[in-house]
């Protein structure tokens, strides 16, 4: 099978390229390194592209911009894909307010370019879209919460397993990023429901792993590890540092995509996160990383929450697990953190050896 991965030099895209290449598929990657344009030098993904070129067997890369409709058309005219994994995005909640038009063009317009090219040229292909839990806006904050020593948690037992796909996506504050992704999420569902195409939508919690080109505005856990080890200061915004995120390793994300690709359900939407077991608050993450890294983070508290930020978000994975019972989380939070700390330490050693 020929697999197209957009955003192929990013966290999820690069994991998908390596995974499907290992399975023996021919993989085409599309990434124009726009993460560098969004976030500056620290967001540059070329290191990951070079790594992939060395680590794969049948991978080809195009520095194509998904906003370029003609370019996307040409790519689909010249190659026939059986699976499209769409990960290219402007991925930051906070960044979007500076660049609302670019954010919308990349996230919404870029997505419909790919869906329409799929419909025109390979309508039987499976199309997986990486959406986000920000499509729920701040509606998850309406769930009754209780405050514990180091985190917020859901107050009612019926909410224990987290937010389901039934959470509403309108009449809520999203951030512009949440809106551009919600537009893409809806259009992707429509290609599944209206056209009957094999489209799946995954609403990610915090997707993580050492392959992130982490920056302050995106890649929370890996950025936290980076600043703890490299030095520098870190700001925690609001909710006393007790806001909770659930974290899932990029490998487990790609395994979920693979499960869907083998047995697609047109137009389905799934939450995708590490669930309660992989959930952590800012305060807890800072302390666990300090223990692993053997040094403390220099951080300060800013008593103003980020606009639209979730207080406690845990992905309820019940629907996905019931449709795909052989999928499970293979990396728990401790393993994720250990791997990220080890990878950052290795990078620091190689930087100092190169000096």
Q: Where are the alpha helices (DSSP H) in the chain?
A: 11-22, 34-39, 46-55, 69-78, 100-104, 110-121, 176-193, 220-230, 250-262, 282-293, 318-323, 333-354
For 248-307, the three-class secondary structure string (H helix, E strand, C coil) is EEHHHHHHHHHHHHHCCCCCEEEEECCCHHHEEEHHHHHHHHHHHHCCCCEEEEECCCCC
What is the smallest separation between the CB atom of 45 and ligand NAD, expressed in angstroms?
4
Among 21, 31, 103, 258, binds ligand NAD (CB under 6 A): 31
* 295 within 8 A of 228, measured Cβ to Cβ: yes
Among 28, 75, 84, 110, binds ligand NAD (CB under 6 A): 110
The structure tokens 């957009």 sit at 6
- Among 110, 118, 112, 49, CA closest to 84: 118
Closer to ligand NAD by Cβ: residue 180 or 355: 180
Nearest 5°: phi and psi at 217?
A: -85, -5
Q: How many helices (H) and strands (E) does the chain have?
A: 12, 14
Contact pattern from residue 112 through residue 141 relative to ligand NAD, giving x for each residue in contact according to CB under 6 A and a dash for the rest = ------------------x-x---------
Site string for ligand NAD, 258-297 (x = CB under 6 A): ----------------------------------------
Please check whether residue 289 is in contact with residue 224, taking contact to mean a CB–CB distance below 8 angstroms. yes
CB of 331 to ligand NAD, least distance (A): 15
CB nearer to ligand NAD: pick between 98 and 147: 98
The residue with tokens 């990029």 is: 250
For tokens 């409709």, the residue is: 69
What is the x/- site pattern for ligand NAD, positions 61-80, by CB under 6 A?
A: ----xxx-------------
Near ligand NAD by CB under 6 A: residue from 11, 75, 84, 188: 11
Question: Binding marks (x or -) toward ligand NAD, 189..228, rule CB under 6 A?
Answer: ---------------x-xx----x----------------
Among 4, 5, 9, 25, binds ligand NAD (CB under 6 A): 9
Q: Which structure tokens are listed for 151?
A: 């985190």
Torsion of the alpha carbons at 80, 76, 198 and 194, rounded to the nearest 10: -140
Joined together, the tokens standing for residue 9 give 């030099």
Beta bridge partners of 2: 26
Closer residue to ligand NAD in complex, CB, 70/352 = 70
Task: By CB under 6 A, name the one of 16, 89, 163, 217 that touches ligand NAD.
Answer: 89
Q: Rounded to the nearest whole angstrom, what is the least distance from the CB of residue 125 to ligand NAD in the complex?
A: 18
Q: What is the C-alpha to C-alpha distance for residues 260 and 201, in angstroms, rounded to an integer? A: 10
Q: Which stretch binds ligand NAD (CB under 6 A): 26-34, 233-241, 330-338, 347-355?
A: 26-34
Q: How far is the CB of 99 from ligand NAD (least distance, A)?
A: 11
Binding to ligand NAD by residue 106, rule CB under 6 A? Answer: yes
CB of 146 or CB of 320, closer to ligand NAD: 320
If binding means CB under 6 A, how many residues of this protein chain bind ligand NAD?
Answer: 28
Closer of 55 and 155 to ligand NAD (Cβ): 55
**Of 9 and 228, which has the nearer Cβ to ligand NAD?**
9
SS3 call for 232: coil
Contact footprint for ligand NAD (CB under 6 A): 7, 9-13, 30-35, 45, 65-67, 87-89, 91, 106, 110, 130, 132, 204, 206-207, 212
């Amino acid at each position: 099978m020929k697999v197209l991965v957009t955003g192929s030099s990013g966290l999820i895209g690069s994991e998908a390229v390596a995974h499907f290449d290992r399975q023996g598929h021919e993989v085409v990657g599309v990434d124009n390194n726009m993460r560098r344009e969004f976030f500056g030098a620290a967001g540059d993904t070329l290191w990951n592209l070079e790594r992939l070129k060395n680590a794969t067997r049948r991978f080809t890369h195009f520095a194509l911009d998904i906003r370029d409709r003609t370019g996307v058309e040409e790519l689909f005219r010249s190659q026939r894909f059986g699976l499209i994994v769409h990960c290219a995005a402007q991925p930051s909640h906070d960044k979007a307010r500076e660049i609302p038009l670019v954010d919308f063009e990349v996230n919404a317009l870029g997505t419909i370019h790919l869906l329409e090219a799929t419909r025109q040229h390979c309508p039987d292909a499976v199309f997986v879209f990486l959406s986000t839990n920000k499509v729920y806006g701040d509606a998850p904050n309406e769930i009754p919460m209780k405050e514990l020593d180091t985190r917020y948690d859901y107050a009612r037992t019926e909410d224990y397993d987290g937010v389901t796909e039934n959470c509403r996506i309108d009449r809520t504050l999203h951030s512009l990023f949440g809106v551009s992704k919600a537009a893409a999420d809806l259009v992707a569902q429509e290609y599944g429901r209206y056209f009957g195409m094999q489209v799946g939508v995954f609403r990610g919690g915090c997707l993580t792993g050492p392959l992130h080109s982490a920056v302050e505005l995106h890649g929370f856990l890996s950025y936290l590890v980076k600043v703890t080890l490299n030095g520098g200061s870190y700001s925690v915004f609001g909710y006393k540092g007790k806001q909770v995120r659930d974290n899932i390793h990029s490998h487990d994300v790609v395994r979920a995509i693979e499960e869907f690709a083998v047995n697609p359900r047109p137009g389905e939407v799934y939450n995708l996160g590490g669930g309660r077991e992989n959930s952590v608050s800012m305060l807890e993450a800072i302390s666990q990383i300090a223990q692993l890294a053997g040094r403390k983070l220099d951080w300060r508290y800013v008593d103003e929450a980020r606009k639209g930020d979730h207080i406690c978000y845990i992905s309820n994975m019940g629907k996905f697990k019931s449709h795909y019972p052989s999928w499970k989380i293979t990396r728990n939070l401790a393993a994720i953190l250990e791997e990220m700390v080890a990878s950052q330490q290795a990078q620091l050693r190689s930087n100092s050896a190169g000096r």
